[in-house]
Amino acid sequence: MTRRVLAALAVALSLFVVTSRAGAQVHWDASAQLGVMKRVLTDRQNGDPVAGFGPAGQLTGHVALLPLVRVGGYIGHDISPFNDGALSARDITWGGLRAKIMSPWPRGDVRLWLFVGFGYAGVYQRSTSLGPNSYMRGAGGSFFEVPFGLGASYKLRKPWELCAELGARAGFGHTGSVYGHGVPKVEDWPGTDSFAIGLTVGVLVDL
Extents of the domains making up the chain:
27-206
3-state helix, strand, coil in the chain (%, to 5): 15, 60, 25
Q: What is the pLDDT of residues 64-113, one digit of tens each?
A: 999 999 999 999 999 999 887 668 899 999 999 999 999 999 989 999 99
Is the torsion defined by CA of 17, 23, 27, 32 positive or negative?
Answer: negative
Average pLDDT, stretch 122-145? Answer: 80
pLDDT category at 13 given cuts 50, 70, 90 is: very low
Selected from 2.40.110.10, 2.40.160.20, 2.102.10.10, 3.20.20.30, the CATH number assigned to the domain covering 27-206 reads: 2.40.160.20
Q: Which of 24-28, 40-44, 62-66, 77-81 has the lowest average pLDDT?
A: 24-28
Distance CA 107, CA 109 (A): 7
Full-model pTM: 0.82
Distance CA 95, CA 152 (A): 21
Average pLDDT, stretch 29-43? Answer: 96
DSSP assignment of 129-163, as one string?
EEETTEEEPPEEEEEEEEEEEEEEEEEEETTEEEE
Q: What percent of the chain has pLDDT over 90?
A: 63
Length of the chain counted residue by residue: 207
Give me the chain's average pLDDT, please: 85
CA nearest neighbour of 151 among 164, 162, 160: 164
